[in-house]
Amino acid sequence: MQRLFALRGANSVERNDAESILAATDELMRELIARNELSPETMVSCIFTLTDDLDAEFPAVAARQLGLSRVPLLCTREVPVPGSLPRVVRTLLHYYAEESHVPRHVYLREARALRSDLDSAQ
């Protein structure tokens, strides 16, 4: 039997330019897909957030380039908490998998500091 799961992930972005945002998002999505053995057919939806210092491109563009053309995608802003980690793209990905599946969240580069408590996220 299958059930609905949600994955969290984040990656830091080098610069506020389209190439850097797309590269960081591509790396994050590829890692989430690989670690969790996902396919576009099992994905329900994906929400991306960007910190206020990133506005040169939509992260969803990178997901579309990976073949997620039928997965509903949404881009929005992260809450600008003073002192929070700058230049970060985050995602919340919903998908179906077998009940026995163990979600493996992904935090890359400087964004690893956001969830150092999750061994599986590293």
Using pLDDT thresholds of 50, 70 and 90, give the confidence band for residue 119.
low
Which of helix, strand or coil describes residue 54?
coil
pLDDT in tens, 22-54: 999 999 999 999 999 999 999 999 999 999 999
Structural tokens at position 28: 């994050």
Mean local confidence (pLDDT), 6-23: 97
Domains of the chain and CATH, by start:
2-115 (3.30.1330.40)
- The H-or-E segment that residue 35 falls in is helix 18-36
- pLDDT surpassing 80 at residue 96: yes
